Amino acid sequence: MSDTITLPTHTWPELKPGWVWLCGAGPGDPGLLTLHAANALRQADVVIYDALVQEDILGWAPQAEHVYAGKRGGKPSAKQRDISLHLVDLARAGKKVLRLKGGDPFVFGRGGEEAQTLVQHGIPIRIIPGISAGIGGLAYAGIPVTHRDVNQSVTFVTGHDQSGNTPGSLDWASISKGSQVIVIYMGMKHIAQIAGKLIEAGRSPTEPVAVVTTATTNDQKVLETTLGTITQDIEDAGLEPPAIICVGQSVLMRQVLDWQDLAAGNPPRNLDPLGRGRPAETA
C-alpha cells in the first residue's frame, strides 16, 4: 500500500482564479474520489465542503482554506442561498473555489441550484460528477443496484422534501408498481410512513430491505430487514443517518456478494440467493 498517489499523465484542467468547480466527493471512502476531484483538490484556494464529506479527503488540499458549509436536509432554503452567494463572493474575489459535496453534486445535493446561481451571477463553472451513495454505498454493501434477474429499472427517491416532510409530490403507488428496486435517500426520519405507503401500495411486508449507514467508511453498518419490520429493526439496531435504504429483491444478492465479509475470510451465506439454480457462467 502506498501513501501517495500521483495523477496519471493527462492534460488535467486548470482551476483558474474566479472559477467555481462543483465537485462530488463520493460517499466517503477517499478511494472513490474521481481523478478530476483529486486534480481540483490540489489546485483550490478554498474548499467549501458539506457535512457528508469525509474530513480526511480535505487532507488532499493542504494548501487550501477549508470552509464547512454543513447543512442537513429539511433546513430552510435561505441557508442554501447564503452558501451559493458565498461562492459567488469568493469567485469575484479571484479565488480558485472548490465546492465539494458528498456523493454526486447533482443527485439530491442541491448542486443544480448552486450551479444555477453561479451562472446567473456570471461565474464560470465546471461540474465534476461523483459516485452517488445510492449506487456506490450499496455496492460496498454487496448490493447491485440493478441485476438482470431482478430489475430493469430503479427509482431513486428522497425521503423528505424541502419542508422536511415525506414528499407529497411522490406518487408512491406508481413507484411501488413501476419499480422493482427503490433506493431511498434521506429516508430515516420518515421510514415508518414510507414503508407504510409502499405496503399500502401493494409491496409485500416480507420484501427484503437493506439499510446502509455511513456507507463506504470504516463505520459502515448494514441492516438486512423487511418492509414490515424495518422501523423496529432500525430502532433496535440503533442506526443513525446518513443512510441509504434499498427496497427490493436485489438486497438478497448480498448473501453472495458481501465482499467485505468474504474478504474477512467468511464463506458466502448463499451461492444462489435468487433461487435461479444456475451457475452464472451458463447464463
166 binding ligand SAH? (CB under 6 A): no
Residue 186 annotated as catalytic: yes
Q: Are 20 and 11 in contact (CB under 8 A)?
A: no
Q: From the candidates 95, 96, 104, 186, which is the catalytic residue? A: 186
Q: Which three cell numbers stand for residue 253?
A: 444478492
Q: Which is nearer to ligand SAH, 58 or 274 (CB)?
A: 58
Active site annotation includes 71: yes
How many whole angstroms separate alpha carbon 102 and alpha carbon 217? 13
Binding mask 47-66 vs ligand SAH (x if CB under 6 A, - otherwise)? -----x--------------
Q: Which of residues 196-215 bind ligand SAH (CB under 6 A)?
A: 212-215
CA distances from 79 to 55, 73, 75, 83, 186 (A): 22, 11, 8, 6, 19
Question: Active-site residue 50, yes or no?
Answer: yes
Residue 140 as a binder of ligand SAH (CB under 6 A): the answer is no
Which residue from 33, 38, 182, 243 is in contact with ligand SAH, where contact means CB under 6 A?
Answer: 243
Size of the site for ligand SAH (CB under 6 A): 24
CB of 191 to ligand SAH, least distance (A): 11
Q: Does 253 bind ligand SAH (CB under 6 A)?
A: no
Residue ranges in 176-195 that form contacts with ligand SAH under rule CB under 6 A = 185-186
What are the two backbone dihedrals, phi and then psi, of residue 37, each rounded to the nearest 5 degrees?
A: -65, -45
Please identify, using beta-carbon distances, which residue of 38 and 139 lies nearer to ligand SAH: 139
C-beta nearest to ligand SAH: residue:
103
- Smaller CB separation from ligand SAH, 125 or 274: 125
Q: Is residue 115 a contact point for ligand SAH (CB under 6 A)?
A: no
251 contributes a contact to ligand SAH by CB under 6 A: no
Buried b (16+ CB within 10 A) or exposed e, 210-233: bbbbbbbbeebbbbbbbbbebbeb
Among 84, 132, 176, 225, binds ligand SAH (CB under 6 A): 132
Establish if 137 lies at the interface with ligand SAH (CB under 6 A): yes
108 binds ligand SAH (CB under 6 A): yes
Whether cis (ω within 30° of 0) applies to the bond prior to 242 is: yes
Smallest gap from residue 104 Cβ to ligand SAH (A): 4
Residues annotated as part of the active site? 50, 71, 186
Residues that bind ligand SAH (CB under 6 A): 27-28, 52, 101-104, 107-109, 132-133, 137, 185-186, 212-216, 241-244
